[in-house]
Amino acid sequence: MTSSFSEEVRKQVETQLHGGITIVVLGASGDLAKKKTFPALFGLYRNGFFPPKTHIVGYARTKMTHEEYHKRVSQYIKVPEVFRKQLNEFLAISTYVDGQYDEDASYQNLNKHIEKIENDSHIADGHKNRLFYMALPPSVFIPVAKGLKKNVYSRGSINRVVVEKPFGMDLDSSRRLDKELGALFSEDEIYRIDHYLGKEMVKNIMTLRFANVFFGSIWNAQHIENVQITFKEPFGTEGRGGYFDEFGIIRDVIQNHLFQVLSLLAMERPISMSAEAIRDEKVKVLRCIPPIVVSDALVGQYGKSVDGTKPGYLEDDTLKNKQSVTPTFATLVAWINNERWQGVPFILKAGKALNESKVDVRIQFKNVAGQLFKEVPRNELVIRVQPNEAVYMKFNNKLPGLSFQTTISELDLSYHRRYSDLRIPDAYEALILDVLRGDHSNFVRNDELDVAWTIFTPLLHELETSKVKPIEYAYGSRGPKQLDEFVKRYGFRRHQEQYIWPIQNVDGTGSRK
């Protein structure tokens, strides 16, 4: 099955890009390119997803020779020795051009470099396709887009531009950015990455919901009490506080990544699998969400760890404002005013420097009616995005034997146990492949971005202007002490019985840990 899928995808890519494609990575010496873009490009190359005549051109300000560049790229990719031959082939199609981000001459030079590649590989007019991957800080976004459009745009062929957050700081700045970018490239040419949409379990949400009749029928306010979407990171800003401080956790994680998950969980069934059909439904459900209010928010900032070995946020050397009130933790509640979701709180939790690394969705169902069983815990469906992808359902079962007591058990689909030879591609790999196929389904449309900002901007502005002081929590803890009380207000009930999901280890043997 997998191989026929790969065949089909290869065909799709080749039909569109049979003349070849030049992938230009702008910001080739930056952090994103290093950690994500190049490893993902190599992954696609290695799996044979590049059409014939694919070339990769790195562009950045750093001056370096081709040898130095190749050495760097090899270090970014970090492949085991068995892939050495493929890595060398990959390097053979990779070249580098240095230049400024705001200077026509630099872009003309880049264009000449690409033209030469196209001429040397005998690519015909109309097939000089180019993909511009902007692995860049937001400050140079627009100057680069302008320089590309003016000097490097390939007229008469396919051009695609990949951009990544931050897409502005609030509704106004996002609209400005969108207007400027929209004046240069059409919406069809723009691919806004939210890498959560490339994650396996996020892509699985639609399948779970719409390919299973039993989930379909209980997916509403009549059966669901609350929905929690949680993001926990075990480390702090660690020297990147200067960057983080401008944004904070709400912009960094909740407004984009967690909200994308929310829209997939909450949208109605799209009329087809086409990108526009899916994105239409996402926008529709987001339009039913009123702006999040301060009274539905709990914000925190991490301090020193309890043992004093880990520094607090304000001790980060790169932080300019030592009195910063930027949240590193937030729990916000969104309400969806439509027939399906009226009255069901969507609790969005995200934090840095917490006690563990985890992203999951927890759907808690209503209490069982009647008096037959006393105090049985609620059913929960958990979709674990990372680490160790899994879907499991907590349900009540009779304690085996002579007793009539109930006990919690689970229907458990742990990917590592169920699917042997599992290789889940990195989100970026999946997304860049989508760009090559010209599929926008897993990218953010401009109106989607606009509604998301509409929901968050009043809250962000109020937190900033009234300088709401975040609650301090210890590095490595569970977050602010008030958290349990806060989520209880929205009807979330923690199980009394200490329940431990049994499959905790990666090897999938099922032993309790």
Ligand X SMILES: *[C@@H]1O[C@H](CO)[C@@H](O)[C@H](O)[C@H]1NC(C)=O
User: Which of 324/331 has CB closer to ligand X?
Assistant: 331
Residue 35 vs 495, nearer CB to ligand X: 495
Stretch that binds ligand X, among 111-119, 189-197, 299-307, 441-449 (CB under 6 A): 111-119
Binding footprint of ligand X, residue count (CB under 6 A): 7
Q: Do 353 and 509 touch, CB atoms closer than 8 A? A: no
Report if residue 407 touches ligand X, rule: CB under 6 A: no
Give the whole-angstrom CA distance, residue 366 versus residue 486: 19
Does the footprint of ligand X cover residue 481 (CB under 6 A)? no
Q: Binding to ligand X by residue 61, rule CB under 6 A?
A: no
At its nearest, how many Å lie between ligand X and the CB of residue 119? 4
Return the number of the residue (109 or 407) whose C-beta is nearest ligand X. 109
What's the number of CA atoms in the CB half-sphere (13 Å) around residue 326? 24
H or E, element range at 58: strand 54-60
Contact residue for ligand X among 12, 46, 108, 115 (CB under 6 A): 115
CB 101 within 8 A of CB 61: yes
Round to whole Å and give the CA distance between 103 and 99. Answer: 8
Residue number, 108 or 204, with CB nearest to ligand X: 108
DSSP 168-224: -SSHHHHHHHHHHHHHHS-TTTEEEE-GGGGSHHHHHHHHHHHS-HHHHHH-STTTE
Rounded to 10 degrees, the C-alpha dihedral 334/337/338/340 comes to 40
Q: Does residue number 504 form part of the binding site for ligand X (CB under 6 A)?
A: no
| Catalytic (active-site) positions | 257
Q: In terms of Cα–Cα distance, which of 384, 334, 330, 332 is closest to 354?
A: 330
- Residue 112 binds to ligand X (criterion: CB under 6 A): yes
| Number of C-beta neighbours around residue 291 at 10 A | 12
For residue 55, what are its two tokens?
């070339």
Smallest gap, in angstroms, from Cβ of residue 357 to ligand X? 9
AA letter at 51: P
Scanning 79-87, 113-121, 165-173, 182-190 for contacts with ligand X by CB under 6 A, the matching segment is 113-121
Q: Does 478 bind ligand X (CB under 6 A)?
A: yes
Buried b (16+ CB within 10 A) or exposed e, 256-276: bbbbbbbbbbbbeebeeeebe
Q: How far apart are CA 252 and CA 258, in angstroms?
A: 10
339-358 binders of ligand X (CB under 6 A): 355-356
- State in angstroms the smallest separation of the CB of 142 from ligand X: 27
Least CB distance to ligand X at residue 356 (A): 4
- The residue range among 108-116, 200-208, 324-332, 467-475 that interacts with ligand X, by the rule CB under 6 A, is 108-116
Comparison of 72 and 113: residue with beta carbon closer to ligand X: 113
Q: Considering the rule CB under 6 A, would residue 116 count as an interface residue with ligand X?
A: yes
The CA–CA distances, whole Å, from 475 to 239, 240, 471 equal 15, 16, 13
Write down the least CB distance from residue 331 to ligand X, Å: 12
Give the chain's count of helices (H) and strands (E): 17, 15
Nearer to ligand X, 35 or 116 (CB): 116
3-state SS of 284-345 is HHHCCCCCCCHHHEEEEEEEEECCCCCCCHHHCCCCCCCCCCCCCEEEEEECCCCCCCCCCC
Q: Which CB sits closer to ligand X, 122 or 322? A: 122
DSSP labels, 359-407 = EEEEEEEPPPPSSSSSSPPPPEEEEEEESS-EEEEEEEEEPSSS---EE
Q: Shortest distance, CB of residue 482 to ligand X, whole angstroms?
A: 13
Q: How far is the CB of 76 from ligand X (least distance, A)?
A: 28
Contact segment (CB under 6 A) with ligand X among 11-19, 114-122, 174-182, 209-217 equals 114-122
150 binds ligand X (CB under 6 A): no
Under the binding rule (CB under 6 A), the answer on residue 119 touching ligand X is: yes
Query: Which span sits near ligand X by CB under 6 A: 16-24, 109-117, 165-173, 303-311?
Result: 109-117
Interacting span for ligand X (CB under 6 A) from 54-62, 115-123, 161-169, 236-244:
115-123
- The smaller minimum CB distance to ligand X, of residues 191 and 231, is found at 231
Residues that bind ligand X (CB under 6 A): 112, 115-116, 119, 355-356, 478
